[in-house]
Structure 1
Amino acid sequence: MPATPPPRPLVKRLSPGAWAAIAWSAGLAVTVLTRMRLPGESGPRFRPGIQLFRWDGPAFLLVATALTLAGCALLPRRPLSALCLMLLATICATFPLSEVEIPMAQFVAVDVALYAVAAARPRRTALPALALAVGTLVGFLAFRWLMGWPVGMSAELAVALVAVVAWLLGRSAHQAQEYAERARAQVERQAVTAERLRIAREMHDLVAHTIGVVALQAGAAARIVESRPDRAREAMLAVETAGREALSGLRRMVGALREGEPSTDELELTPAATLAGLDRLAAATTAAGVRVDVRWDGERRALPPELELSAFRIAQESVTNVVRHSGAASCEVRVAFGEAYVSVTVTDEGDGSPRAASGGPGLGLAGMRERVALLHGEFAAGPRPEGGWRVSARLPVPAYEEAR
């Protein structure tokens, strides 16, 4: 059953236009209340103008409310036009109040709209919005001053300051959102890069093992082509089979690299290698001329996919190194299942020279060591006292650690 997503916060459930309408309604309520004598007061905070009690006062307020609601509805699509309607509404609402400036309560809806525009729109839209708001305040005071009427300069400075603060908060939210998107895109790019590196390691393991088997089979076929043509034919058929399998795997991996990361359908159709493939690996390598004996210790059980894949790749890389560098005629792969770990040990009776230890060009031992380190395991590789080479990896089983 899919998990239910958490509910969105209240501030996200309503649109910016709805919040602006709520701010206008709250400002209108504050305007009315401050012009009434409230309990505990000797008189109203502001003396109401005579126009407020005539027909034209409520008419102006109704017109201002209609303009504001129209601007709120238009805000998501045409923010600058919406802001113009809301600014015109503040001017209409100021006339019946007998105020010498645009009151703060009438400008709260504009502040909310300024924040919304600055937070959601680019700078080329946000800057004109701020200019419209501040320009309206300046124009209103300039008109009253030119007409010789009283001017509330100090109060209007506070209104302008709140408008600028609302705009700055919106720009800060816009920049935070842009930063979060860039960080999310960077994380996605890093995930794709890590996936491509993983596919490249898988490609190396596949190609290295297949080339080693093909080289041995081709060499054996060349030596017995005249004396044992039937065996030579079998060897060449084995070369063909290994080549086709390698080509198919390369096509899948290259396709995944081109597409960035494999889809869910691809992952289902191409399951990752597991320890169950060791018998097939041993059979193919034995047919190529190097006998591989697989030994299982402990109770075999299913492991997490990353452990299965890493254990198999470590065994495959070790067997490939035996085929390519050791000169040994046989090797042994021992897989031990413990209560809290699984270990893979590959031993051979080759020359144990430093060249065999290096693994040649490519990942080699460094790749195996990296795989084990990522899983917080233990890795060791080196010559044996009795001769030959030994590679050992011990990987902890996460289920045991969590249960403990």
Structure 2
Amino acid sequence: MRADRTTFHDSVLAVLVAAVSVVLFLGRDGGRLEPPGLFAGRAPDAVGVTLVLLMCVPVAVRRRWPLAGLCASLVSATLLSALGYGVGLAGVAVVVLLYAVASYRGLAAALGGLLLSLVVYGVGAAAGPLTTTRWSDHVAVLVVLVAVWGGGRSLRLRRAYLEELRDRAARLERARAADTRAARAEERTRIARELHDVVAHHVSVMTVQAAAARKVLATDPESASEALSAIESTGRTAMAEMRDIVGVLRADARAELTPQPGLRDLPALVEQMREAGLSTTLSVEGAARRVPAGVDLAAYRLVQEGLTNSLRHAGAGARSEVTVRHGRDELEVRVEDDGLGAAASPRRPGHGLVGIRERVALYGGILTIGPKAGGGFKVRARFPLKDGQ
């Protein structure tokens, strides 16, 4: 559609240039319609009109074949000069085509078109009726040709610059879209890990407590009531954490965003596991110091997943021990139990341990998961800490 419009516009321009050139060519009388001595020649006739038309017609294809059109127009101009007619206003066609060559073709073609125009004009000026023209007129024509060529080159360079800007903007937009997709995928993975950690831990605790309440419901209603209260409290905690996560996912500014859990919350987590029936102890070695927020959360989730794993698989009467050791350049976290072990109760790594592995790897840590030599199961992670952390 755009090509059709440009062809139509060029055709209209060619018709206008040809009509004005023919009218002035037919209406001149001994050169009185032209500057003294400039392009004046023999009286107009059919041959002269035909050459003027052939000189102007290539303007219609100035964008599609500018160099070929310029050559064709220069041939007609040469014949007009050689036969003594004079070029007259039809020379505008040469100017238009030279501008088109400079603005729509490469530097080599543009220089070739300029050189060809100057040579043809020089030959015509030396051999034709232009010998009577003043030198100032020749200089003015040469200046016009060079200025028109320079204007065409400037337009081409500006067009190339704008095209480069558009390409760069498109590349930046594609890169931004790719970064956005990667960030969304990473955020979805992070939220999936958070939801799994919250749901798996609290649901496991609630399941164990519900089973204990069912067993003692008839014989010890007071203990069953305490277990049901613990289930209610655990459920409320799970709902609060899930509400916070979903609130972030929905970008709800009204959501109550509590701080992410960390090592400071381990005593409460251990107490919760005791209430669920898993004998758990917590040991902290070394001088506690502030660790990065991401490592803090990863360590807490590792302990949470390890204790949940022990609660589900270690068996009745098992004991679990959580150890946090603050080293000079690393943080070590261990969760060990003396339960049934991998032989009696196979523990297939689920999404929780996979998520823990991703968390530890994200911060350059080393994770060890597997059965203990003397029975039981262990989860151990070492997080490197930089100086000043």
Asked if TM exceeds 0.5, the reply is: yes
Which residue of 1 is the match for residue 257 of structure 2? Answer: 269
Asked if 2 retains the 8 angstrom alpha-carbon contact of 1:321 and 1:356, the reply is no
- Note the alpha carbon deviations across 1:116-151, whole angstroms, 9 max, x for none: xxxxxxxxxxxxxxxxxxxxxxxxxxxxxxxx9958
Q: Structure 2: how far apart are the matches of 1:173 and 1:253?
A: 41
Structure 1 equivalent of residue 85 of structure 2: none
The CA RMSD over aligned residues, in Å, is 3.2
Report the AA paired with residue 392 of structure 1: R
Match of 2:225 in 1: 233
The structure 2 residue matched to 1:222, chosen from 199, 208, 214, is: 214
- Residue 315 of structure 1 and its aligned partner are, at CA, apart by 0.5
**Counterpart mapping for 1:155-166 below 5 A:** 155-166=147-158
C-alpha deviation, 1:255, in angstroms = 2.8
Segments of 4+ moved more than 3 angstroms: 148-155, 354-357
Say which of 323, 331, 337 aligns to 1:334: 323
Match of 1:357 in 2: 347
SS in 2 for 1:336: strand
Any idea what the Cα deviations from partners look like across 1:242-293, whole Å, max 9, x if unmatched? Answer: 111111222222232233xx76x86x83211111111111111111111111
C-alpha distance in 1, partners of 2:359/2:347? 17
Match of 2:200 among 188, 191, 208: 208
Match of 1:368 among 356, 372, 385: 356
1:230, 1:258 → 2: CA distance? 42
| Corresponding residue to 1:322 among 273, 296, 310 | 310
**May I ask how many residue pairs the two structures share in their alignment?**
257
Percent of aligned pairs sharing the same letter? 37
Q: Following the alignment from structure 2 to structure 1, what is the Cα–Cα distance between the partners of residues 172 and 210?
A: 56
Q: Which runs of 5+ in 1 are unaligned?
A: 1-99, 103-110, 112-147
Match of 1:175 among 158, 167, 186: 167
**Which runs of 5 or more residues in structure 2 are unaligned?**
1-93, 97-102, 104-129, 131-136
Instruction: Decide which of 381, 394, 397 is 2:369's aligned counterpart.
Output: 381
Report the 3-state secondary structure (helix = DSSP H, G, I; strand = E; otherwise coil) of the residue aligned with 1:303: coil
Give the conservation status (yes or no) of the 8 Å contact 2:196–2:352.
no
Kindly report which structure 2 residues correspond to 1:71-220, keeping only aligned pairs within 5 A, or say none.
152-153=144-145, 155-220=147-212
Q: Which residue pairs with 1:131 in the alignment? A: none
Q: In the aligned structure 2, how far is the partner of 1:251 from the partner of 1:292?
A: 28
Pick closer, same or farther for the CA change 1:356–1:281 going to 2, 3 Å. Answer: farther
**Matched-pair contact (CA < 8 Å) for 1:294–1:333:** yes
The answer to whether the aligner puts 1:243 opposite 2:235 as a matched pair is yes
Q: Within 1, Cα distance between the matches of 2:293 and 2:250?
A: 24
For the residue of structure 1 that corresponds to 2:218, the secondary structure is coil
Deviates more, 1:198-207 or 1:182-191: 182-191
Q: Is 2:293 the partner of 1:301?
A: no
Query: Displacement of 1:153 after TM fit?
Result: 4.2
The higher radius of gyration belongs to 2
TM-score by length of 1: 0.58
Name 2:25's counterpart in structure 1. none
**Amino acid corresponding to residue 284 of structure 2 in structure 1:** W
Amino acid paired to 1:369: R
Contact 2:260 2:297 in 1 (8 A): yes
